[in-house]
């Protein structure tokens, strides 16, 4: 299928941000977006990159009523050589299709998906920031658009991709976060949707997040829904602990997101000689490790957050400082290594970078 491109007129184009230190996350979007429609019996049709605009939806569009909505998050980078790269895009594409399968939504052809990202990022390449820790965030999304109120999987969908320049996910940048361990509310349970990137997971997490934020914490650290005993993830990232000499992270057992950055951290840490163990970790084990001094550090991982150190845990009314509230050496090393691979300052031992455009030649004169 050929992707049509309809460019915005120069007059309609927005001013690009001038201060890359103030980009923040997910507030600025470029001049164009990709979209494609789906109808049962017809399949996907009319792929187009067109000027960014509001969507037109019927008030009865099923995504608005029954929550059939999934998304992904990946990034494009301006390499130190001036070329443009994606980081492990196939992982996100496959995960989006796994999300679609679970939510009874249509799968997207992987080649067309990657081509849509490639064409959109290349068209918007002047929006890719160059500063350290900055990138172009890519947000593929699928929503049910069929106008109907009976509860069933919809027969019509819209898939779209928006992109925009981003800096650090947290306003404080790469510095230790404070986590609130929730025992009252849960994020996901076995057999549910915690392992896919469904919008409903994030909506369901907001109430506890609001409580945590009001109390001064950055994020909620979720426990398993049945026993409220085992650590799962942070709503926007996966979680890692350094206990003794091991890097420990909860296993992919159907309730946490199989993060692309989680997988990259596991592979990179192993490559650097750290023993990495995927196993259930109880909150009690972490608290005991904090008390007996074997909890060396903790950090979260995600596309948006990259690697973000955790400096403090709140559990049952008590505060537990991790590494004296400071960024730990492994979090720092992994953060730097991942960024340096993404920008091409370091060799890419796993072949994660995908070049989508060569550096432009400097203009003469
Ligand atoms: C990401 O890390 O890309 C995410 O999707 C997490 C969050 C911003 C929802």
For the chain, give the percent of residues with pLDDT over 90. Answer: 93
pLDDT top residue among 172 and 362: 172
Instruction: Taking residues 17-29, report their average pLDDT.
Output: 94
The pLDDT of residue 160: 98
Protein residue whose Cα sits closest to atom 6 of ligand 1? 236
Cα 94 from Cα 307, distance rounded (Å) = 22
Scanning the structure block, which residue is given the tokens 């790469």? 174
For residue 37, the CA-to-ligand 1 centroid distance in Å is 24
Provide long-range contacts, Cβ within 8 A and 24+ apart, for 208-212. Answer: 208/180, 208/182, 208/184, 209/235, 211/180, 211/182, 212/179, 212/180, 212/182
Scanning the structure block, which residue is given the tokens 């779209």? 160
For residue 222, the CA-to-ligand 1 centroid distance in Å is 16
Scanning the structure block, which residue is given the tokens 């890097």? 247
- Which one, of 35, 221, 229, lies nearest residue 142 by Cα? 35
For residue 302, the CA-to-ligand 1 centroid distance in Å is 7
pLDDT in tens, 283-330: 999 999 999 999 999 999 999 889 999 999 999 999 999 999 999 999
Cα 15 from Cα 357, distance rounded (Å) = 24
pLDDT in tens, 225-266: 999 999 999 978 999 999 999 999 999 999 999 999 999 999
Instruction: Taking residues 8-23, report their average pLDDT.
Output: 94
Residues whose beta carbon lies within 6 Å of some atom of ligand 1: 73, 202, 236, 302-304
* Residue 73 Cα: closest atom of ligand 1: 3
Instruction: Taking residues 210-238, report their average pLDDT.
Output: 96
The pLDDT of residue 365: 55
For residue 237, the CA-to-ligand 1 centroid distance in Å is 7
Protein residue whose Cα sits closest to atom 8 of ligand 1? 304
Q: Please count the residues of the chain.
A: 365
* Residue 302 Cα: closest atom of ligand 1: 2
Instruction: Taking residues 265-282, report their average pLDDT.
Output: 97
* Residue 197 Cα: closest atom of ligand 1: 5
With cut-offs at 50, 70 and 90, classify the pLDDT of residue 363: low
Q: Where are the alpha helices (DSSP H) in 229-325?
A: 260-271, 283-292
From 72, 303, 306, the mutation candidate for ligand 1 (largest count of ligand atoms within 8 A of CB) is: 303
With cut-offs at 50, 70 and 90, classify the pLDDT of residue 98: very high
356 pLDDT more than 60: yes
Q: Where do the domains of the chain lie, and which CATH numbers do they carry?
A: 4-166 (3.30.470.10), 177-342 (3.20.10.10)
């Amino acid at each position: 299928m050929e992707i049509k491109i309809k460019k915005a007129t120069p007059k309609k184009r927005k001013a690009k941000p001038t201060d890359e230190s103030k980009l923040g996350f997910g507030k600025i979007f470029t001049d164009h977006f990709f979209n494609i429609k789906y109808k049962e019996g017809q399949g996907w049709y009319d792929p187009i990159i067109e000027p960014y605009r509001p969507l037109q939806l019927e008030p009865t569009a099923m995504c608005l009523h029954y929550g059939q909505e999934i998304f992904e998050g990946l990034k494009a980078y301006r390499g130190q050589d001036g070329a443009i790269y994606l980081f492990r895009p196939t992982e996100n594409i496959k995960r989006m299709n796994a999300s679609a399968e679970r939510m009874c939504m249509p799968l997207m052809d992987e080649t067309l998906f990657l081509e849509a990202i490639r064409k959109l990022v290349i068209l918007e390449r002047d929006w890719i920031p160059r500063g350290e820790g900055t990138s172009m965030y890519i947000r593929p999304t699928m929503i049910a658009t069929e106008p109907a109120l009976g509860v069933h999987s919809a027969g019509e969908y819209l898939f779209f991709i928006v992109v925009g320049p981003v800096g650090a996910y947290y306003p404080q940048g790469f510095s230790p976060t404070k986590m609130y361990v929730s025992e009252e509310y849960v994020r996901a349970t076995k057999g549910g949707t915690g392992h896919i990137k469904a919008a409903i997971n994030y909506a369901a997490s907001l109430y506890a997040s609001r409580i945590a934020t009001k109390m001064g914490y950055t994020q909620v650290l979720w426990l398993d829904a049945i026993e409220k005993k085992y650590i799962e993830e942070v709503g926007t990232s996966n979680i890692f602990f350094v206990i003794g000499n091991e890097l420990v992270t909860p296993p992919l057992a159907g309730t946490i997101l199989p993060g692309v950055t989680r997988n990259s951290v596991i592979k990179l840490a192993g490559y650097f000689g750290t023993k990495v163990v995927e196993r259930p970790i109880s909150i009690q084990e972490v608290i005991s490790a904090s008390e007996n001094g074997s909890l060396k550090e903790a950090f979260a991982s995600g596309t948006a957050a990259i690697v973000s150190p955790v400096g403090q845990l709140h559990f049952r009314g008590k505060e537990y400082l991790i590494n004296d509230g400071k960024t730990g050496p492994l979090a720092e090393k992994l953060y730097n290594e991942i960024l340096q691979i993404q920008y091409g300052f370091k060799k890419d031992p796993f072949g994660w970078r995908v070049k989508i455009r060569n550096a432009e030649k400097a203009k003469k004169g």
